[in-house]
Amino acid sequence: MKRRVWLTTGLLLLIGAYTLFHIDEAHKRQFLQNYLQEHHALSDSSYSSHASITQFGTMFHVTFNDEPDVMYDFFVKRRDGVMHVVYSFNLEQGHGLRDREFETVNYAILDTLFK
């Protein structure tokens, strides 16, 4: 009987953690979509993305329809209760058409984060 309670509790904890992860990912994905729309005038139909969790936060790998061979990485992270998007240049991949644009906005954001 105790074993069944522990298994049920463990299963419920796993389901809860999985659900919270997906809710958080959806919230961060929406934040990234809004960021790309507001700062770069990019609609969500012009790219596809998938997420991964890293030690620095949630990373979204974005591929634009007009550059299918280039992947842009963005970290979406909450710091002091405020959400931030930081572009991460992928050295292994080489340069894409939007690198400079993302880096320029990135430096402005990083300056405000550390003041």
The string of pLDDT tens digits covering residues 46-73 is 999 999 888 877 889 999 998 888 888 8
Q: 63 near 49, Cβ under 8 Å? A: yes
Q: Could you read off the pLDDT of 11-55 as tens digits, one per residue?
A: 999 999 889 888 989 999 999 999 999 888 899 899 999 998 888
110/106 Cα distance (integer angstroms):
6
Range of the domain at 102: 2-113
The three-point CA angle 84-88-90 to 5° equals: 165
Query: Measuring CA to CA, which residue among 65, 53, 108 is closest to residue 86?
Result: 108
CB atoms within 10 A of CB 51: 18
Domain count, the chain: 1
Q: CA 70, CA 101: separation in Å to the nearest integer? A: 15
What pTM value is reported for the model?
0.76
